C-alpha cells in the first residue's frame, strides 16, 4: 500500500511539473520566476515523499505552502465558474495537504515500529 501511495504522488508531481514545462513551452502570462518556484517546490515535495530525512514532513510542508496558497487563491477566484481549472486547483490543494498528512502518519508509524510496538 505504501508503494502505491508513493506512485500516486509521483504521478501527481510529474504531471504538475509537466504542466508548468508545457506552459513555458507554449508561452505563459506567468513570469519565469513563478514557474521556477513551482519546479522547486513540487520537486522538493516529490523528493520528500521518498526521503528518509527525519524532518521530511516539515520540509514538505514548507515547500507545499506556495503551490497550496496559489491554487487555493485561484480556486477561490474560479469558484463561481466551476470550470476545469477550478477542479485542477482543488486536486492540487488536496494532494499538497494529503502529502503532509501521509508523511506525518508514516513518521508516527515508523516511530512506533522502532519502539517494538507493532
- Which residue range forms the structural domain that includes residue 77? 2-111
pLDDT at 73 (0 to 100): 96
Its pTM stands at: 0.87
Query: What are the Cα distances from residue 86, in Å, to 66, 78, 80?
Result: 17, 6, 9
pLDDT at 61 (0 to 100): 96
| Structural domains counted in the chain | 1
Is 118 contained in some domain? no
Is 103 contained in some domain? yes
Is 82 contained in some domain? yes
pLDDT at 32 (0 to 100): 87
Question: Could you give the dihedral angle defined by the CA atoms of residues 31, 33, 35 and 40, in that order, rounded to the nearest 10 degrees?
Answer: -170
Is 78 contained in some domain? yes
pLDDT at 60 (0 to 100): 96
Residue 4 neighbours by CB under 8 Å, 6+ apart: none
pLDDT at 113 (0 to 100): 74
Is 117 contained in some domain? no
Per-10-residue mean pLDDT for the chain, 118 residues long? Answer: 92 94 87 92 96 92 96 93 92 96 90 70
Is 38 contained in some domain? yes
Is 70 contained in some domain? yes
Amino acid at each position: 500500500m505504501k508503494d502505491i501511495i508513493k506512485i500516486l504522488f509521483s504521478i501527481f508531481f510529474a504531471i504538475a511539473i509537466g504542466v508548468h514545462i508545457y506552459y513555458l513551452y507554449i508561452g505563459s502570462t506567468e513570469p519565469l520566476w513563478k514557474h521556477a518556484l513551482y519546479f522547486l517546490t513540487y520537486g522538493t515535495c516529490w523528493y520528500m515523499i521518498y526521503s528518509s530525512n527525519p524532518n521530511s514532513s516539515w520540509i514538505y510542508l514548507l515547500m507545499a505552502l506556495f503551490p497550496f496558497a496559489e491554487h487555493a487563491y485561484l480556486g477561490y477566484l474560479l469558484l463561481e465558474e466551476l470550470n476545469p481549472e477550478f477542479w485542477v486547483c482543488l486536486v492540487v490543494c488536496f494532494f499538497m495537504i494529503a502529502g503532509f498528512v501521509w508523511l506525518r502518519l508514516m513518521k508516527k508509524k515508523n516511530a512506533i515500529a522502532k519502539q517494538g510496538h507493532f
